[in-house]
Amino acid sequence: MSKVALGKPVPDLTLHTTSDQTLRLSDLQGKHLVLYFYPKDNTPGCTIEGQDFRDQYDAFRKLKTEILGVSRDTLKSHEGFKSKQCFPFDLVADVDEKLCKLFGVIKEKNMYGRKVMGIERSTFIIDRKGILRGEFRGVKVAGHVAEVLDAVKKLGKA
């Protein structure tokens, strides 16, 4: 499967999410989608990023935008993380890395002096018609959610 590209349709994958759901991207057509990839549940940066999306959730909803967080963690791990942080949005368990590979977010990283393959914090905006309209790679948590919200506002009624 080739990687996604700005201005092109995103393939209609099946996602396994918290709340015991199986969701297809096409199920969300008619709404914008913010898909944010993060390295690991219950880690400091990932927790803050999720909390920031949680705290701005109503603002995204007013713009007819859904939010999904994605990592390689299991559904069981996601359920605990979502519950503990009171996330109003679902998390996607991408244990087989299909979504990560499609969006090209698996990168070599340094962890305690060792080279490991992991998720590079990244966010993507898919419009109401399933077209990739925005991408943020190598994200720094501070101020990121506000930047994504501004980008969604600029999409308007696209």
Based on the residue annotation, tell me whether 86 is a catalytic residue of this protein.
no
User: How many angstroms separate the CA atoms of 60 and 49, rounded?
Assistant: 15
Q: Which amino acid is at 18?
A: T
Q: Which amino acid is at 64?
A: K
| Partners of 116 in the β-ladder | 109
Task: Choose the catalytic residue: 46, 132, 148, 152.
Answer: 46
3-state secondary structure 26-94: HHHCCCEEEEEECCCCCCHHHHHHHHHHHHCHHHHHHCCEEEEEEECCCHHHHHHHHHHHCCCCEEEEC
User: How many angstroms separate the CA atoms of 37 and 105, rounded?
Assistant: 8
Residues annotated as catalytic are 46
